[in-house]
Amino acid sequence: MIWAALGALLSLTVLTGAMLGAALGLTGFAILHFFAGGSMRLGVQAVFNVLGEFTLTSIPLFILLGDVLVASGLAGGIYKALSPLFARLRGGLLHTNIAVCTVFGAVSGSSMSVSAAVGSVAYPELIGRGYDKRMVVGSLAGGGTLGLLIPPSLSLLIYGALTDTSIGKLFLAGVVPGLMMALLFMIYIEIKARRHPGLVPAEAPLPWSQTLRATLAVWPILVLILAVLGSLFLGIATPTESAAVGVAAAALLGFTMGDLTLARLMQTFVNSARTFAVIAFVFLGAVILAQSISVLQLPQKLLEGISSVGLSPLLMLGVVVLIYLLLGMIFDGLSMMVMTLPVVFPLLTGLGYDAVWLGVVITIMVEVGMLTPPVGMNLFVLVGISKHQVNLAQASIGALPYWLLLMLGLVLLTAMPGIATWLPSLSYK
Amino acid sequence: MSGPAPAAATHRGVERVLRAIAGALAAIGALSLAGIFVLVFASVLMRYVWGQPFNFTEELSGLLMTLAVFTLLPATVLKEVHIRVTVLSGLTQGALQRSVFLAGQFILLAFCVLFVREAWAITEFTYTLNLKSEQSRLPLAPFLMLATAGMGLAGVAGLWRTLRPMAPQAEDGVHP
């Protein structure tokens, strides 16, 4: 009865096109009112309690960090620095797209920030050189997803805050899978470029001395990565503190080496606040829904049901992945994660899956959602950057190989959980 | 005698007033986020450079975060820059599409009303007992009052959008 009510209420409220936060929150209120003795106040109290948590304050700061980097125009410098190195490979500057997204991912927590920052520099450059449009957009959309997996990651932060899992462990767990995905993307690009030379013009390689000299220009961003991730992993700073240090360092770099001005920095604060408000409203609604689900102990009941039916944990994981794939078609990735975590997390950890590993797996599913039309946010960003020279269908086809590679990454991660859990196990004993 | 022109002028006036209030609240929200950054960064400096960390950083940051969320809300509702699932509204047209829109707006309004009702009770309780944060003894009531007011104004903005749906203006963005 309660499951039918929950499903019907969620479908009804979400499909009307109501603001997602309100739809989730009202569903939570209804569940609390009709099934938990009218205890709606518990939902509001949970919102005030969760929003007051210090760890959560790192979310707007990491959004700000990404936006300051974009406003500073530092992506152009990094792109120029890494281009000569990757021009030596047959995939040429398509590899640079992935490499720069990887580096940018290590300072920005948002997939869309990375796609926007790297895409705005790379798209006109590569189209001007005669690269295939679909290949370019695909590599940028796929590369952009690395922003969510490679720490700092908004997805892992929100996951950690909602499930009370160590953010430090989650960030460490994202490193190897993030690098693995970058490598898989590059292998695909190289194979595709060798098989279809017409899609990728041959780049003239610079002498090694010039290549190395150019690559050294990437040092400011390495300092930034060290400031943000180094302080966090060494235990010197909390996630919020490392984000604040990162914002200060990014602003300093932006003023001294980039195009950042005081007016642009002020505008960045406003833009970040707006982005944060949109995420925060969904988060607020999800907290109320989570509270209602938690009060009624629904995941525990579901777990008992699954145990009695005898579904294996692997099959259950497969069902969850399938649900995420379907939801990814109509929800943006982060919203999808926030609204499903209250059930998915206790369910899968109850079946024996590691909480940190699960955070990485769900983040990959969020990334898949970013590339799944019709609501693939990275695809939207790149269609915009291309000034509609590439439409959504073309962008989706271009991103399809990366979508498939992310699914392959998921399979590898399931077969070898150590890919995610090895690094945190070294640091947190 | 009143006609379409005075009505339009009234609508523009209401829109201007709402945008001004929502804009002022959003400015408080943006300043709160800037405040979190300054506070946390200063706290790191105090800890590592002077060896004297602030004891109120965590609690004040949390309160500023709460303040930011609720004060930013009215502007985003007014400018319609929120995440929605538009599958159904995209498939419908005319009166049916309008009905779906109204249902969505009703959900927003119902949520805001229920939230404000419950939040007000918590705020009243906090104010009456003059509750303070655990460590740094910061008064909680002002933050909760602003948060409740923010959600209330978001409801008013939603109601205005329901009665007077308008195309987004030039400065209105799409959701991230």
Q: Do B36 and A57 touch (CB under 8 A)?
A: yes
How many contacts does A have with B, using Cβ atoms within 8 A?
178
| Dist CA A341 CA A31 (whole Å) | 17
| pLDDT for residue B95 is more than 90 | no
Q: In this structure, are residues B168 and B80 in contact, taking their beta carbons and an 8 Å threshold?
A: yes
Name residue, tokens 């705020």: B123
pLDDT at B171: 44
Of A44, A248, A280, the CB nearest to B115: A44
Q: Residue range A38-58: average pLDDT?
A: 87
Nearest residue on chain B to A27, judged by CA atoms? B111
Nearest CA in chain A to B77: A19
Whether residue B111 and residue A29 make contact (CB cut-off 8 A), yes or no, is: yes
A153-167, A355-369, A410-424 — which is least confidently predicted?
A153-167
pLDDT at residue number B55 = 82
Beta-carbon contacts of A28 under 8 Å, excluding residues fewer than 6 positions away, are: A43, A285, A288, A289, A290, A291, A292, A293
Peptide bond into A152 cis (omega under 30): yes
Contacts of A45 in chain B (CB under 8 A): 122
Query: Which chain B residue is nearest to residue A276, measuring alpha carbons?
Result: B69
Closest by CA to A384, choosing from A97, A72, A123, is A123
Residue A200: φ, ψ to 5°: -130, 110
Burial of B170 (0-12, 13-18, 19+ CB in 10 A): exposed
Residues linked to residue B132 through DSSP beta bridges, in sequence order: B139
The mean pLDDT value of chain A amounts to 86
How confident is the model over B99-137, as pLDDT tens digits? 888 888 999 999 999 999 999 999 999 999 989 888 778
Query: Is there a contact between A54 and B121 if contact means CB atoms under 8 Å apart?
Result: no
What are the pLDDT digits (tens) for A191-244?
999 999 888 888 777 888 888 888 888 888 888 888 888 888 887 888 888 889
**In which band, very low, low, confident or very high, does the pLDDT at B13 lie, cut at 50, 70 and 90?**
confident
Instruction: Kindly list the residues from chain A whose CB atom is less than 8 angstroms away from the CB atom of residue B98.
Output: none
Cβ-nearest to B72 among A112, A277, A335: A277
Residue B28 to chain A, least CA–CA distance (Å) = 10
Q: How far is A404 from chain B (nearest CA, A)?
A: 25
Q: Which phi and psi angles does A422 have, rounded to 5°?
A: -65, -50
Q: In chain B, which residues have their Cβ closer than 8 Å to the Cβ of A240? A: 40, 61
For residue B3, the model assigns a pLDDT of 58
B119 to chain A, minimum CA–CA distance in Å?
A: 6
Task: Please check the confidence at residue A187 and state whether its pLDDT lies above 90.
Answer: yes
* Average pLDDT along chain B: 84
CB A64 within 8 A of CB A272: yes
A147 vs A421, residue with greater confidence: A421
Checking A379-388 for CB contacts under 8 A at 24+ apart, the result is: A379/A141, A381/A112, A381/A115, A381/A116, A381/A119, A381/A141, A381/A144, A382/A115, A382/A119, A382/A123, A382/A137, A382/A140, A382/A141, A382/A144, A383/A137, A385/A115, A385/A116, A385/A119, A385/A120, A385/A123, A385/A140, A386/A123, A386/A133, A386/A137
**Does residue A326 belong to the interface with chain B, where contact is any CB pair within 8 Å?**
no
Domain ranges of chain A: 50-427
Query: Which residues contact residue A264 at a Cβ distance below 8 angstroms, ignoring those fewer than 6 apart?
Result: A71
Query: Which residues, 6 or more positions from A81, have their beta carbon under 8 angstroms from its beta carbon?
Result: A214, A215, A216, A217, A218
pLDDT at B174: 37
Mutate to test the interface with A, among B31, B32, B36 (most CBs of A within 10 A): B36
pTM (2 decimals)? 0.81
